[in-house]
């Protein structure tokens, strides 16, 4: 994260380019208490999870994380999310039926996206499940996926790496940056 400070102007929403971000920190800890002072004596276990979110468009920022009191870049996504452009893919991913939590009801879209692309399908990509079909013990999930990449080769590679089953990309097209990209929004 050495280059992060130099990249400060990029501390903005990758979706709408707003700089109006907040971090939601969820902390869970087990601490021993000193019986004399009543103060924390020893940390037994601590877990901290944080999500950086844009307050204008309400999208999570999967390229940013919160650690040691600062927002920083998630190294494997940083460059792609802020210097890349949006790509839209029409694709199918074939998964084992047992890997799909539910394929009906209000949670079906997230469950099918997760089955197809794991955490990428619910945190990093914008996915829209068009439909799915059952083929014996497998489910073919048809999706429109928006992701960020620097070029077509990288976009294809990111989809291939994230797919949790055989992937077929029927179309892949680059979109332009959001309108706010032309504005200087510091």
In a domain, residue 94? The reply is yes
Q: Is the same domain home to 40 and 114?
A: no
What is the average pLDDT across 5-18? Answer: 65
Q: Is the same domain home to 7 and 44?
A: yes
In a domain, residue 55? The reply is yes
- Are the C-beta atoms of residues 11 and 78 closer than 8 Å to each other? no
Q: Is the same domain home to 25 and 69?
A: yes
Q: Compute the distance between CA of residue 184 and CA of residue 186 in angstroms, rounded to an integer.
A: 6
In a domain, residue 161? The reply is yes
Q: Is the same domain home to 68 and 109?
A: no
Task: Give the dihedral sign, CA 126/76/65/164.
Answer: positive
User: Does position 153 have pLDDT exceeding 80, yes or no?
Assistant: yes
Q: Is the same domain home to 56 and 103?
A: no
Q: Is the same domain home to 88 and 167?
A: yes
Domain end marker among 42, 58, 81: 81
We report the CATH number of the domain holding residue 170 as 3.30.70
Q: Where are the beta strands (DSSP E) in 4-125?
A: 21-33, 40-54, 64-67, 70-73, 85-96
User: Does position 43 have pLDDT exceeding 70, yes or no?
Assistant: yes
Of 118, 96, 111, 101, nearest in space to 166 by CA:
96
| Number of domain units in the chain | 2
**Residue 146 lies in domain:** 84-174
In a domain, residue 138? The reply is yes
Res. 184 pLDDT band, cuts 50 70 90? very low
DSSP annotation of 177: P
In a domain, residue 44? The reply is yes
Domain end marker among 56, 81, 106: 81
In a domain, residue 129? The reply is yes
What is the average pLDDT across 59-68? Answer: 83
What is the average pLDDT across 36-47? Answer: 86
End-to-end CA distance of the chain: 21
Res. 180 pLDDT band, cuts 50 70 90? low
Of 1, 3, 7, 9, nearest in space to 183 by CA:
9
In a domain, residue 108? The reply is yes
Res. 120 pLDDT band, cuts 50 70 90? confident
């Amino acid at each position: 994260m050495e280059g992060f400070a130099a990249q400060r102007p990029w501390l903005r929403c990758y979706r709408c380019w707003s700089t109006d971000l907040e971090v939601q920190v969820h902390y869970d800890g087990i601490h021993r208490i000193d019986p004399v002072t009543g103060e924390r004596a020893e940390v037994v276990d601590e877990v901290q999870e944080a999500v950086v979110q844009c307050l204008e468009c309400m999208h999570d920022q999967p390229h940013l994380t919160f650690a040691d009191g600062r927002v920083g870049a998630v190294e494997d996504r940083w460059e792609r999310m802020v210097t890349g452009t949006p790509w839209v893919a029409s694709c199918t991913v074939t998964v084992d039926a047992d890997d799909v939590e539910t394929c009906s009801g209000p949670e079906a879209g997230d469950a099918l996206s997760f089955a197809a692309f794991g955490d990428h399908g619910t945190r990093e990509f914008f996915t829209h499940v068009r439909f799915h079909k059952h083929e014996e013990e497998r489910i073919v999930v048809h999706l429109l996926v928006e992701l960020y990449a620097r070029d077509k080769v990288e976009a294809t590679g990111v989809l291939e790496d994230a797919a949790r089953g055989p992937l077929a990309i029927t179309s892949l097209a680059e979109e332009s940056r959001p309108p706010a990209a032309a504005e200087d929004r510091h």
